[in-house]
Amino acid sequence: MKRIFILLVLSIHLQNLSSQEIILSISGEFNEKKIPLDSLLIENLTNGTDTIFKPVDILDRFQINLTKGSLINNIDSEILHKSEKASILKNVPGEIVINYISKEFNSIYIEITNIEGKKIVKKKDVVNPGNNLFNIKLQIPGIFLVHFYSLNYTKSFKCLGISGLNNSNIILVENSGYYNKSSLIQINSGFQFSSGDNICLTGFKKGLASNLFTKSIIESEDIVCVFVNNEEIGLFIDARDETFYRWIKIGEQTWMAENLAYKQDSSCWVLFNDEKNAKFYGRLYNWSIAMESCPSGWHLPTNEEWDNLASFISIEMGPYSKGENSWPGVGKHLKSKYGWNNKNGTDDFGFCGLPAGFCYVINNNVFFNNQGILIGRWWTSTEYNDGSSYGWALDESNNFINGYTGKTLGTSIRCLKD
């Protein structure tokens, strides 16, 4: 009898072990310094399923319930917020149809990024209570992620784009009623995991992928996704405020691939006085402050260094004929693929030129012009005269324009590596 009891206890103990949930605590690291991740891709190499997490808020550490395939930080929408749910109705190359259920009127954002995290298109919509059907066209070749998020919900889907018109769009095609779940075709089976499966983790930060982490997982553990720069692209940390910037090498020059966002005490502005815009567009600076704003090891480019950039683009993608004060056609290769209201660029070198516009001050009032519409402007360190300095601009007609303007104007900064 004693022997049977021992076997019974052992059996119960083994069942408890087999049903124990496995939790992964995942963080990023760059230059031996912990960094927050923008998103995280988990691939199960054993069964071929995968999932990606892209929270609305930045997380210092991802807490993943691997057994359930869910994020257990306090923004785990699938578990904590049953009032909203997005699911796939159709997922074929070039098109994905998403059904979004809400129990109330709600504002949501739909964002399409490539697998490295670069934003392709973003749209805001108001959904009705009930069924809201979104048809998303992906006419750019490659693998993309479609992110749905609101104040209390986030969900991502992976899909495949095909060659077409070289753009993507999002259309709300139906906005009423509840659907019959029995009629749905679930094309993506979703992430699945069993103890001992081989898992591959990839962290993403500023469009860069970490080194792959691959391991057979049998228990909960802490994992670090390590980022390492290569010769063409990498990360840089501004020690003054610990802001991360992506850099890219174009020809023999190494440029920041984002506008500077360092906050100065004066003569420095953020678009529409909304700090959220600093992350996307950077800040605007007058010339005297711009001259002292680049971090150590970087500098405000000269007029000649900007012209060298344009010349290299012309050689690689043209040739283009240089005008008296512009490089017609060069601009489209430096403009971002998103963010321009009228005509996005092709961003062939990763420069990601955004139309942050400019600002000026009259009687202590700040006025912002041309954001998101016509122009992106950047200072040079080269003076024209005591009151003016040279700058460069991208416009909606794909020109890369050189000219001078008053030093009190607020424009963007791109730093060049020393």
Please provide the DSSP assignment of 21-54 as one string.
PPEEEEEEEETTEEE-BSEEEEEETTT--EEEE-
Q: What is the pLDDT of residue 354?
A: 87
Alpha-carbon Rg for the chain, nearest whole angstrom, is: 25
**Cα four-point dihedral sign 346, 348, 352, 355:** negative
The structure's pTM equals 0.59
Is 243 strand, coil or helix? strand
Point out which residues pair with 171 in neighbouring strands. 135
Residue 300 has pLDDT above 50, yes or no: yes
- 378-417 pLDDT, tens digit per residue, is 999 999 999 999 999 998 888 999 999 999 999 999 999 9
Residue, of 25 and 163, whose pLDDT is higher: 25
Given a cut of 80, whether residue 112 has pLDDT beyond it is: yes
pLDDT tops 60 at residue 16: no
| 186 — pLDDT class (breaks 50, 70, 90) | very low
Map out the domains of the chain with their CATH numbers.
22-227 (2.60.40.1930), 233-417 (no CATH)
Rounded mean pLDDT of 363-387?
85
Which residues neighbour 206 within 8 Å (Cβ) at sequence distance 6 or greater? Answer: 38, 117, 235, 244, 245, 246, 258
pLDDT(181) > 50: no
Residue recorded with tokens 């149809």: 97
Identity of the amino acid at 289? I
Share of the chain above pLDDT 70, in %: 80
More confident residue, 336 or 104: 336
d(CA 155, CA 179): 19
Is residue 230 scored above 60 in pLDDT? Answer: yes
pLDDT score of 130 more than 80: no
At 182 the pLDDT is 27
CB 256 within 8 A of CB 237: no
What integer pLDDT is reported at residue 404 of this predicted model? 93
Of 19-28, 67-76, 150-159, the one with minimum mean pLDDT is 67-76
Say whether pLDDT at 228 is over 60: yes
Residue closest to 277 by CA, chosen among 356, 361, 370: 356
